[in-house]
Structures are given as C-alpha cells and as structure tokens.
A and B are shown apart, each in its own frame.
Chain A
Amino acid sequence: MADISNNFVGIKSPNPFWLASAPPTDKQYNVERAFKAGWGGVVWKTLGEEGPPVVNVNGPRYGAIWGADRRLLGLNNIELITDRDLFVNLREIKEVKRNWPDRAVIVSIMVPCDEQAWKKILPLVEETEADGIELNFGCPHGMSERGMGSAVGQVPEYIEMVARWCKANTRMPVIVKLTPNITDIRYPARAAKAGGADAVSLINTISSITSVNLDTFSPEPSIDGKGSHGGYCGPAVKPIALNMVAEIARDPETAGLPISGIGGVTTWRDAAEFIALGAGNVQVCTAAMTYGFKIVEEMIAGLEAWMDSKGHRTLDDITGRATGNVTDWQYLNLNYVTKANIDQDLCIKCGRCHIACEDTSHQAITHMVDGARRFEVIEEECVGCNLCVNVCPVEGCITMEPLKAGSLDKRTGKKVKKDYGNWTEHPNNPSRIAAE
C-alpha cells in the first residue's frame, strides 16, 4: 500500500491534500468538518491586521461558468480576506491545532507592506502553534486596490522584501502564495526564494469577469448593476496552473524550491499531475466548494490506488517526475512524425473530425469513401496535429500513431529519420547552431 503521508517544508500531514486559504477555511466549524472528512491540512483563510475587520459586499460574491448538465467549470469570487475578528480567528486556530495535532494548519496572512505590521501579527500567529504561514500576495480583487494581495505579488521586489521580514521575525516556515496575474511567473518565484521563503504556493486566482448579463449589461456577479473583476479558479484554470508550477520547477534559479500546487485540483488525477510537475503537495478549494469535503476520500483512495498500480511507494517517488519532460519548443524533436488513425470499429460517424480538418486545418480526413459516409485519414495531407483527436467525442477512436524510423512520410515524401533533431539545428533556422 502506497504511503501518501506528506512532509512539506517540515510540515507533516497524513496526505498531500490541503484546503486552500478560502471560504472553506474561515472558521473552526468548517475546518473541523474538513479534518473529520480526511483533509490532510488547511491554510486558514487570510488574516488581516488587528482592528475593525474588512467588510464584504452584501450581494453575490461568486460568478461561474458551466459545462454540460451545469457542471461547474470555473468559479470566480470577489470575497475579501476574513471578515471576522482577528482574535476570534487566532483563538479558533489554536483550538483546532490542539484538537488535530496530526493535521497541517497553516495561516494565511495579508497585512500592509510595512515591517511593523508584519512584526505585530507574526507573534500572534506563532502563539497559536500553527505549523506555518502563507503570505497572501495573490488575491487580485479588492485588497489589491489597497496595495495588498496581488499588488504585492506583481512586484518582485516587494515579495522579496516581505518574505525577508517574515523570515527575520518568525521561526515558522514561510510559504509565499503567488499571483498568476503577471507575465512571467518565474520572477516572483525567484524573488520569494531570494527573500528566504521556504516555499511558494500557486496559483492564486486569475483576474476575470465570468459573464455579462445581456439584459442589464452588468458584469456578473452583479452588485446593484455593477461588477468588479473577481478571482477565477476551478477546473478551467488547471492548465494555466500546471504550466506555472512547471515553469518554476524547471527554472534553474528556483529548482528545488518547494511548491504547493494550487489551481483546479478536482480529482486525485489532477493532484498527481501537479505533483509530477514538481509540487510537493496540493491545495484545493473549488472542488470542495462544489461537492463538499467528502471528495477528499476519492482523492486519497484514487492517489493510493494509482501509486499502488504503478509501484510508487511514497510521494517522493512521483514528485517532479514530469518536470524534466517539460522543455522549450526549440528542443522538441522535429523528426518525430505522427499520423492520425481512425478506428473504424469505434467511429460513430459524427463527422466532427472531418469538418474540423476540412474547414480549419489540412483537408486530411475524408467524408465519403466509395459513396458511403466514412471518415479516413489521408496520410498525404495529415500533419499529425491532433485536432481530430481533440474534437472526436469517442475516447480512443482517433489516435496519433508515430511513424517508425525509416518509414515513408507520405506528406513530405521523405523517410522518417531515426535521430533526434530540433529547431536549433534545423536548416530553416537562420540562427541555427551550425554543425560544421
């Protein structure tokens, strides 16, 4: 049986599934329900400075997009940090940690970019005996207008500065939560590392408008006819998050910096993918907000079953296993040639592959063969682009088959080369590295 217990920057939890800092982790009541359901840890919803708590809007806080049968694909929110009194939160955190010593309790913090503010709150958090802190440099809405959240995360110098203050003022591990609302995620990650952060966590939510009400012309969610961009999360953001995790994991400057992966983790499979790309664990929010805390059972059982089936014994066996396979486009093997193949037994003859290829790509799939409705790949035209695979509604019906070295690529009329060859040495590349 695989052992999925997690050690993330010295913080131990029975499994790598943490609840992200968000509405589900705002109170002792919710967090204890989560622990009862089996979650390995929580990042407590972001605490702000002592004083009158922030206020939230009193209208809708969430917007969404849906897929078939109203399956929630993406959620956005304009909720701010905790709107409960700081000391109520601290008392509850302490009590939860005492009640659940084997679970990870991390406290998310967001206070102004002023060392005194951090110096003031850090001892209070430390006193709860929480396992670590996460610096919220990510929230793109509301707090960013007040110079916090993503407003900090978008300036690497601030990240480095605040991380350094925290490291200097607490013994707790410091995780820096990054905003994806930047052009290159590597810079804030490098800054966090430079500031001495123990880890980064990403992604926070993406600035977004989920929809526009076409009757009122108000963005959604609508507060009295007006909307403000919210933070986007859920299954729709996973590909963006995976890439950002991979970028940090494979950046020589940050390689080895622990990463807590966040962004659309909905199933054990999503979690395994984040971990394979270099995350030490994952944080979940939208899936729990959609289905409740029980989903962690599926995540735990699924991850264990997959690890068992592959012979992976611990999370260390899988962490970062895919990182080395992420490379720059210029290093991809141009001598790798694939052709689409349509399994006629599985084909249900919907014709989507044909029309996609015919209208928008390479005219490489038939519609009729000998007067009958039949969809076949025309190898002379197929560039192996995979669009047909992606639009086919039947899984496994269309596959991309690599041509064997030495066989003829009917499109180019050339034999498939055995050797690896990439753009850097391609004759068409004006700045190629000449092999003279």
Chain B
Amino acid sequence: MASKPGIIQDGISAGRLSRKEIDRNFFDLHPPLDHHEALVAADRCYFCHDAPCMTACPTSIDIPMFIRQIATGNVKGSAKTIFDQNILGGMCARVCPTETLCEQVCVRETAEGKPVKIGELQRYATDHAMHQGIQFYKRAKASGKKIAVVGAGPAGLACAHRLAMHGHAVTLLEGRKKPGGLNEFGIAAYKTVDGFAQAEVDYVTAIGGIDIQYGKKLGQQIHLADLAQKYDAVFLGMGLSGVNALGLKGKEPDGVEDAVDFIAELRQAKDKSKIPVGRRVVVIGGGMTAIDCAIQAKLLGAEDVTICYRRGQEQMNASEYEQELATSKGVTIRHWLQPAKLRSKGGRITGIELEYTRLAKGKLEGTGEKLKLEADQVFRAIGQKLTPKHLNGSGAGITLEKGRIKVDGEGRTSMKGVWAGGDCTNSGEDLTVTAVAQGRDAAESIHRALSA
C-alpha cells in the first residue's frame, strides 16, 4: 500500500484518508443477516425454558419466541414480539452490548463459547417490519390527559410511545434540533448507518398523539415547575448534559476536546473526511464513549490512537468485545494510567503526562511514576453528569442521589407528578436498552396514576 501523506501530517486536520477509504471504514459494523443466515442463526436457538437471555434483557424481550418465529417464517410476528417489550428494538439490536447481556448468558455461550446471534436476529426481524412500515399498535381512545416528556432520546421515545398507546396526548420536548438523543448523537457512526436513528423516531412516533417540539432545553426554554403545572404528568428523560473534566490545574490548551462532541459531530457529518482529527490521539476514559471515540479517530486516519484508563482491564465499562474491536482497528489500550499534566506549545496541546496508578487497600492512588505521550489531540471520555441547575424552578422538589435524579422502582421522582428514566436517573446501567425499559415502565406507572 502506498504511504498516506495525510496520516503522518502533524496537528489536527481533516482529510487524512480519502472519502472512499473513510466511507469504507465507517461501513455497517455488522451487515444485516440475509434470509438464509437468519434461518441458520435462528435454528441454533434451543428455545430454553425460562430463558436466561430473556432474564438478562433489561426490556425482557421474549427472545426464544421471536427467534422461533423467525425460524418458522413469521418474521412479522417476530418483530411484534420484540416491539411489544421494546419499541426501540431496532436500535437496541444494533447498539446493545449483547455480549454482556443476552448473548453472555446464552446457553450456547456456556456450551461452545458461541452464543446465538440474538442481536443480529433482532435486527433481522425489526428491519423487516420497519422497512415495510408495519405498525403494530394503535392509540387507545383519547384519555384527555396531557403529558410532557422531556428529551426525545431512548427513554423519552419509549415513554411517549407507550403513553400514546394508552391514549394520552404527549408533548415531546427536545433540546436539540433533531430527535433521537444519544441514538442520534452519541453512538459510533458504524453502529447505526443510513439514518437509522431518524427512521426509528419516525417509526415510533407514527402511532400518533406525539407532538415533538425542538429547541426546548430544560432550564432554558422550558422549566420543570411550569411543566408540572401545565401537564397532568411529566417524564424527565433528558440524559446527561455535562461532561466530567480532567481535573488538571490550569487552562486547557486547544486540542483537548469532549469525546461526546466528536462522536456527535461525526454522526451528523455528511462527509466524514471533512472532520479533523489529530495524528496522535489520546483518549482518557474506559467506557463505551472512549471506545467509540478512539475507534472513529483511527478510522478517520489518525496514525496513533491510545486509550488511557486509570484502572485495569476488568474494571473498564466498555465490554470485552468493544475492547477487542478497538484493538483490532489498531487502537492501543493502556491501563493504570491517570492524566497528570497537559503539555502545550503556543496554546496547542503537544502531549500528555500520565501517572501510573495502583490499588492500595481498595483505593486508587498514583505511584508517582510518569509516562509522557505525544499528542496533538486529547479527548475527555471520563463520564457525563447531570447539570442540577437545569432542574431549577422546581424548588427543592427533586431529590438527587449520587448526582442523578432519584427514582423508585416505577420511575417516580420525589416530586409529585414527575417521573424520570434513562441516564439522568440513578438507576440501572447507562444503556439504550435500560433507558427504553425505564421510559416504558414509567409510562405504565403514569398511566396507572392517571387512570386511578
């Protein structure tokens, strides 16, 4: 292969690879199963009794049933089995870390280390129904109740859909100009290609009774106290808007960026070759955001991409599969390193100093030993946080726990008439599928409360 002048150019620049190469790099991570592949994959399912996969699914999809329906040629019915539990089953099929959920507990994983391809089969069934525009649900008779749902991400969409099914009138308030939340802005481009997130929003909202309003950020254009007054119920599903800082002294030089912004920008870009990226990129963090950021930096043509995580491999939030995916794309993952100092020249980042860490009596501490890495771009991917002031106007109504909204088992917050779900709450893992489950369950709780 000819040398690539784009790759070895210092600094942050676009066009390190040709558009053609970049398009190839960002091609669908798992191309869809074709008909025969789906039958073969479905045939491997043992139709377990009280299936572990189903228990592991946060939305409790009847996995053996939907797979059996694929195997017997009832693909439409299969999609309904999925959507009954998870109206965002199409996105979850693409982005769920199945390797730590359903597929991890698949008995064929136990038996052979090769689980049934549950995620890919789910995509097969849901794609079938969505491509054909098959709508399975109708609105119940109008209840006359109005509900505000804040955030058109997975939690808000799931909640809105289930509320609409029950005949309630939903106003879906979204801060950005586009719906989808992290499905649209927060996931690596190769995991959801061809505008799938928007297509899914259209599919979900096609039930009717959901009025989406954009540019409505909580704490800015809209306020919780007003919503609570104007609507019969409020569901908060706005996710996390703040990004954790590296916590280093002094002003950060140019070239230190938030991974979530980089990921969002990539997802929105029409031509990814126009997205600038560094030659030597360091990503600080150990979760899915760090992985998505690092892989995509590499796919854009960064020569050297290193993830630095302050703990060991076992503690990384990113699944083993995601870690392997990253290393297979040429990303280096280093452990037991925490950022100590950013080095810069002329206001631009030139490198990062990291301190080795260790666990001492269960507590993480620096060893004093340092490692210097050259870098012309550093990404923060050390987690996001709720910005509590956005909940202002609610007085002391909403109780937080560990920096997020405290909810009970049904998604009720401490404030009467206000429910919450998804990443902004303190419950469950920060996953699309968890957000869907919480949005759906909160909708049921709201419906019960309003029907009482």
Q: Which A53-83 residues have C-beta < 8 A from chain B?
A: 68-70
Complex formed: what's the CA distance from A348 to B107 in Å? 5
Interface residues of A in 336-355 (CB under 8 A from B): 348-352, 354-355
- Determine the distance from Cα of A156 to Cα of B50 in the docked complex, in whole angstroms: 54
**A396: interface (CB < 8 Å):** no
Task: Tell me whether A349 and B43 are in contact in the complex, defined as CB-CB below 8 angstroms, given that A70-B36, A355-B49, A373-B52 are known contacts.
Answer: no
Interface code B29-54, partner A: CB below 8 Å = 1, 0 otherwise?
Answer: 00000001001100110111111100
Q: Which of chain A's residues has its CB closest to B71's CB?
A: A68
Cβ of A393 under 8 Å from chain B: yes
* Chain A residues closer than 8 Å to B48, beta-carbon distance: 349-352
Confirm or deny: B223 has a beta carbon within 8 angstroms of a beta carbon on chain A.
no
**Does A27 belong to the interface (CB within 8 Å)?**
no
Bound CA span A179–B52, Å: 48
The answer, yes or no, to whether A394 is at the interface (CB within 8 Å) is yes
A167 sits at the interface (CB 8 A): no
Q: Work out how many contacts link A and B, with CB atoms closer than 8 A.
A: 36
Q: Which residues of B contact A417 (CB under 8 A)?
A: none
The reply to whether A348 and B49 form a contact with Cβ atoms under 8 Å apart is no
Pair B47/A348 contact, Cβ less than 8 Å: no
Output the least CB separation between A211 and chain B (Å).
Answer: 12
From residue 12 to 44 of chain B, which have CB atoms closer than 8 A to chain A?
A: 36, 39-40, 43-44
| In the complex, per-residue mask of B49-86: 1 if CB is within 8 Å of any chain A CB, else 0 | 11110000000000000000000000000000000000
Assess A352 versus B46: contact at CB under 8 Å? Given A70-B36, A373-B52, A394-B111: yes
Complex CA gap A252/B341 in Å reads 96
- Asked if B40 and A68 make an inter-chain contact with CB atoms under 8 angstroms apart, the answer reads yes
When the two chains form their complex, are residues B111 and A367 in contact, meaning their CB atoms are under 8 A apart? no
Other than the given A351-B50, A373-B52, 11 more pairs (CB < 8 A) read A68-B43, A348-B111, A349-B48, A349-B52, A350-B46, A350-B107, A351-B49, A352-B47, A352-B48, A352-B49, A354-B49
Per the bound structure, the CA–CA distance linking A68 and B37 in Å amounts to 11
Q: Which of A350, A351, A352, A393 has the most CB of B within 10 A?
A: A350
Bound form: Cα–Cα A385–B39 in Å: 32
Bound CA span A288–B99, Å: 41
Q: In the complex, what distance in Å separates the CA atom of A69 from the CA atom of B43?
A: 8
A349 touches B46 (CB 8 A): no
A394 to B, closest residue via Cβ: B111
Query: How near does chain A come to B48, taking the closest CB pair, in angstroms?
Result: 4
A349 to B107, Cβ gap below 8 A?
yes
**Closest chain A residue, CB of each to CB of B43:** A68
- Flag if A367 contacts B50 (CB, 8 Å): yes
Q: Which chain B positions have C-beta within 8 A of A69?
A: 40, 43
Chain B neighbourhood of A393, CB < 8 A: 46, 111
Known: A68-B43, A69-B43. A348 touches B50 (CB 8 A): no
24 contacts between A and B (CB under 8 A): A68-B40, A68-B43, A69-B40, A69-B43, A70-B39, A348-B107, A348-B108, A348-B110, A349-B48, A349-B52, A350-B46, A350-B48, A350-B49, A351-B48, A351-B49, A351-B50, A351-B51, A352-B46, A352-B47, A352-B48, A354-B49, A373-B50, A393-B46, A394-B111
Nearest Cβ on chain B to A65's Cβ, whole angstroms: 14
A354 surroundings in chain B (CB, below 8 A) = 49
Complex Cα gap A352–B39 (Å): 21
Minimum CB–CB distance from B193 to chain A (whole Å) comes to 29
A387–B49 CA distance with the chains assembled, in angstroms: 15
Question: Which 7 residue pairs across A and B have the least CB separation, nearest first?
Answer: A351-B49, A355-B49, A348-B107, A348-B111, A350-B48, A350-B107, A68-B43
Closest to B36 in A: A70
Minimum CB distance partner of B108 in chain A: A348
A13-B299 Cα distance, complex, nearest whole Å: 65
Q: Kindly state the separation between the CA atoms of A373 and B55 in the bound complex, as whole angstroms.
A: 12
Enumerate chain A residues within 8 angstroms of B51, measured Cβ to Cβ: 351
> Can you name the residue of chain A whose Cβ is closest to the Cβ of B44?
A68
Instruction: Determine the chain A residues whose CB is within 8 A of the CB of B44 once the complex forms.
Output: 68
- Measured as residues with beta carbon below 8 angstroms from the partner, the interface class of chain A is 10 to 19
Complexed CA–CA distance, A163 and B407 (Å) = 87
| A352: min CB distance to chain B, Å | 6
Q: How far is the CA of A316 from the CA of B48 in the complex (A)?
A: 46
Q: Please name all residues of chain A whose beta carbon is closer than 8 Å to the beta carbon of B110 when the two chains form the complex.
A: 348-349
The distance in angstroms between the C-alpha atoms of A350 and B36, with both chains bound, is 25
Which of B44, B46, B49 has the most A CB atoms < 10 Å from its CB? Answer: B49
A352: chain B residues at CB < 8 Å are 46-49
The complex places the Cα of A70 from the Cα of B46 at a distance, in Å, of 17
Chain A residues, CB < 8 A from B36: 70
Cα–Cα distance between A367 and B46 once the two chains are bound (Å): 16
Q: How many whole Å from B81's CB to the nearest CB in chain A?
A: 19
In the assembled complex, the CB of B33 is this many whole angstroms from the nearest CB of chain A, namely: 14
CA–CA, A23 to B435, complex, Å? 61
Which residue on B lies nearest to A214, using beta carbons? B73
Instruction: For the complex, give the distance between the alpha carbons of A373 and B110 in Å.
Output: 14
**Among residues 357 to 409 in chain A, which have CB atoms less than 8 Å away from a CB atom of chain B?**
367, 373, 393-394
CB neighbours (8 Å) of A367 from chain B are 49-50
Chain A residues with Cβ below 8 Å from B52 are: 349, 373
Given the complex, which residues of A lie within 8 Å of B46, measured CB to CB? 350, 352, 393
Which residues of B lie under 8 Å from residue A68 when comparing CB positions? 40, 43-44
Among A68, A70, A348, A367, residue most surrounded by chain B Cβ atoms (within 10 Å): A348
Q: How many Å from the CB of A170 to the closest CB on chain B?
A: 51
Cα A394 to Cα B107 in complex, Å, equals 11
Q: Which A residues are CB-close (under 8 A) to B43?
A: 68-69
Q: Which residue of B lies closest to A354 (CB)?
A: B49
B50 contacts across to A, CB distance below 8 A = 351, 367, 373
A110 to chain B, nearest CB (A): 40
What residues of chain A lie closer than 8 Å to B111, measured between beta carbons? 348, 393-394
A350 to B109 Cα, complex, angstroms: 11
Which partner residue on chain A sits nearest B42 by CB separation? Answer: A68
Min CB distance A413 to B, Å, is 30
Within 8 A of B (CB), among A11-33: none
In the assembled complex, which residues on chain A have CB atoms less than 8 Å from the CB atom of B47?
A: 352
* Shortest Cβ distance from A375 into B: residue: B49
CA distance A393 to B48 in the complex (A): 10
Residue of B nearest to A356 (CB): B49
A-chain residues with CB within 8 Å of residue B40 when the two chains form the complex: 68-69
> For the complex, what is the distance from the CA of A214 to the CA of B49, rounded to whole Å?
30
Bound CA–CA A349/B110 (angstroms): 9
A373 and B105 CA atoms in complex are apart in Å by: 12
With a CB–CB cut-off of 8 A, which chain B residues contact A348?
Answer: 107-108, 110-111
Cβ < 8 Å to A, chain B residues 317-337? none
Among residues 144 to 183 in chain B, which have CB atoms less than 8 Å away from a CB atom of chain A? Answer: none
Alpha-carbon distance between A201 and B26 when the two chains are bound, in angstroms:
62
Complex alpha-carbon distance, A241 and B12, angstroms: 75
Give Cα A396 to B50, complex, Å: 23
* CA of A70 to CA of B71, assembled, Å: 12
Q: How far is the CA of A279 from the CA of B110 in the complex (A)?
A: 42
How many Å from the CB of B122 to the closest CB on chain A? 20
Bound Cα distance from A70 to B40, whole angstroms:
8
Q: Which of A83-107 contact B (CB under 8 A)?
A: none
